[in-house]
A and B are shown apart, each in its own frame.
Chain A
Amino acid sequence: MPAPANSNAAYVRLAPEPILPPPLLSRGAIAWARANLFSSPLSGAITLALVALALSMLPPLIAWATTRAIWSAPDGALCRAHQDGACWAFVAQKLAYLSYGSYPVAERWRVDVVEAVGGALILWMLWPRAPRRGLGAALFFLIFPILAFVLLHGAEGLRLPQVDTLLWGGVFVSLLTALVGIVFSLPLGVLLALGRRSSLPIVRASSVVFIEFVRGVPFITVLYMANNMLPLFLPPGWVPDRFAPPLVGTALFSAAYMAEEVRGGLQSIDKGQYEGAMALGLGYWRLTGLVVLPQALTRVIPGVVNNFIGLFKDTTLVAIVGMTDFLAAMDNAFQDTVWSGPTILATGYVFAGLFYFVFCYAMSRYSAAMERRLAAGRGR
């Protein structure tokens, strides 16, 4: 017998309550717009104002870059005649120089090969569903550096004429600097972070001194120091290549920042993880490499990629110590009087901006995808 509704008697459920879908009001495009764009009169007004602003600014910009732009021309005359549009003809004309700098034309295929192989290996290594990614990584870290050095620098024995780094320039110098910086700064940063948390006083002190010193000095200063101090650390008679100091400087500078990022991750690991691993008999390096670092690095992906992105853009500063990176090549191209004109600078810098944006945005998206993937994989 069911109890009367208002009775104080004991209650026993006789039939299960049905499971219902959520009400329709909370779903769909109109509901979304109402909640997010027009939730109040003020928010509606802001939405409309911003839409109006976008409508007034975007079409002229797009027209400047497309319909009114000059796409091909033998020299700057046409661009000077059409000052209301971008001068892509300039970029097209200078594209080879922007890509290779003064690398000899007959040898530029070597740069292409290095870029193609490097790009393919990076894709192989980073694409989550690629087969045998470990092999890709091994090739990338062990074989590719040798291949890149032999091809870019040259080897007389293989009938590859030597190309002085004085002639290197453009996109591949930027990419190479960023790559070397990224590949060396993360492991170095991890070692410095572990060093800073070490119980060995000398290891800890040296890590702290390095991190604090490098972080406390502007990047340009680090580059100048690398340029002038690197020879001091080499055996007498050795003269480092002019490209070496900026590479070393970039890697060391970024490593200091990376170290602090990684240290934050290490600190977030629960003490129980260390104890669980120690109780199983794992020594320091296995505990660190198998249990602590995989978790710590996963947690600091956003910060590490943030550093990578910063590093990528900081490669523009190697121009200060005499390397012709992509932006420096662009600046050199501006000096060409044949192409001088009022729209050249704007076009060139927009193009340069797009170049950096494409790479940085790709890194950002990849890291976001990795975060989602790792979070989903571990059921969190």
Chain B
Amino acid sequence: MADDQNAIEFVDVHKWYGSFHVLRAVNLSVARGERIVVCGPSGSGKSTLIRCVNRLEQHQRGVIRVDGLELTADIRRIDEVRREVGMVFQQFNLFPHLTILENCTLAPIWVRKTPKRQAEELAMKLLTRVKIPEQAHKYPGQLSGGQQQRVAIARALCMNPKIMLFDEPTSALDPEMVKEVLDAMTALAQDGMTMIVVTHEMGFARQVADRVVFMDEGEIVEINAPAEFFGAPQHERTKLFLSQILR
């Protein structure tokens, strides 16, 4: 089966918000270990696209397969997929009533049934990997945006996911904190994680992506390797978009 090769498959996926056609005939296969950067103007459907992968949004037509499992209304199947897919949000979405360590161990303990001690060891290991082990006993509100986003990455990794989704992870950060988050993501990519990243950080796309997906008005306009994408964009809309963001 082709599923064996692909971590994620979109086959002719459509989605509407009311009568607004937000995803139009999306076809995309993401191989295991592949790093995809999705970019495009705001409202182009790129966030909706990756939110369909863990069913934070439902598609209404077509097939989405994640790790060989087709996403349907079956809640058990959805939870199964969500256990394998980590997600990092623009607004971090850390749990403010829990310490950093508790944020990281909550899902492993309650969803994966990992013993507490073991979950904490793993959390500390991953917090060390994103370079903030000393913040483990603070609350999210006491951390800077960049630190919070790195916690969010560690929290997702604590579930030992096969796939990581990033939904504009640096868009809500002050400029001086963007690099520390991108560094953590780059390190993750170098370890072979399958990643889909929605971002405007073109430097990151150039450096890390295997392929860049450009979306506009709900459809995929161009998919290309970063060198070609930035060096010789094919579609007029891609050229226009690049000319607007690369100054």
Residue numbers of A with Cβ under 8 A of B are: 270, 272-273, 275-283, 286, 290-291, 294-295, 298, 377-380
Contacts and interface: CB of A to CB of B under 8 A. Distances in A.
A280 B107 contact: yes
Contact of A279 (B85, B94, B110, B141): B85
Interface in B158-191: 159
B110 A290 contact: yes
A379 B82 contact: no
Contacts of A295: 95-97
A281 to B, nearest CB: 4
B53 to A, nearest CB: 10
Contacts of B159: 280-281
Interface in B71-109: 75, 79, 82-83, 85-87, 89, 91-97, 106-107
Contacts of B245: none
B232 to A, nearest CB: 36
Contacts of A291: 95, 106
Contacts of B96: 295, 378, 380
B8 interface: no
B56 A298 contact: no
A379 B79 contact: no
Given A278-B54, A279-B87, 11 more contacts: A270-B91, A276-B94, A276-B152, A281-B107, A282-B107, A282-B111, A291-B106, A295-B96, A295-B97, A378-B97, A379-B142
Q: Nearest 5 A-B pairs (CB), nearest first? A: A276-B93, A379-B142, A280-B107, A279-B87, A272-B93
A280 B141 contact: no
Contacts of B89: 272, 275-276, 279
Interface of B: 54, 56, 75, 79, 82-83, 85-87, 89, 91-97, 106-107, 110-111, 138-139, 141-142, 152, 155-156, 159
Given A272-B91, A291-B95, A294-B97, A282 B138 contact: no
A280 B155 contact: yes
B68 to A, nearest CB: 17
B113 to A, nearest CB: 12
A286 B107 CA distance: 9
Contacts of A280: 82, 106-107, 111, 155-156, 159
B122 to A, nearest CB: 14
Given A280-B159, A281-B82, A273 B93 contact: yes
A36 B94 CA distance: 41
23 contacts: A270-B91, A275-B87, A276-B93, A278-B82, A279-B56, A279-B86, A279-B87, A279-B89, A280-B82, A280-B106, A280-B107, A280-B111, A280-B156, A286-B110, A290-B106, A290-B110, A291-B95, A291-B106, A295-B95, A295-B97, A377-B139, A378-B139, A379-B142
A295 B139 CA distance: 13
A281 B111 contact: yes
Contacts of B82: 278-281
B83 A378 contact: no
Most chain B beta carbons < 10 A, residue from A270, A281, A286: A281
Contacts of B139: 377-379
Most chain B beta carbons < 10 A, residue from A276, A290, A298, A377: A276
B108 to A, nearest CB: 9
Given A279-B54, A295-B96, A378 B110 contact: no
Contacts of A298: 97
A283 B79 CA distance: 7
A294 B94 CA distance: 14
Contact of A282 (B86, B110, B152): B110
Nearest to A283: B79
Contacts of A273: 93, 95
Most chain B beta carbons < 10 A, residue from A270, A279, A282, A298: A279
Contacts of A377: 139
A298 B96 CA distance: 12
A380 B141 contact: yes
Contacts of B54: 278-279
A290 B139 CA distance: 16
A32 B94 CA distance: 41
A276 B86 CA distance: 10
B95 A286 contact: no
Contacts of B75: 283
Contacts of B56: 275, 278-279
A276 B155 CA distance: 10
Nearest to B56: A275
Contacts of B85: 279
B138 A379 contact: yes
A281 B78 CA distance: 8
Nearest to B85: A279
A286 B111 contact: yes
A113 B87 CA distance: 55
A275 B86 CA distance: 12
A273 B106 CA distance: 13
A283 B78 CA distance: 10
B61 to A, nearest CB: 22
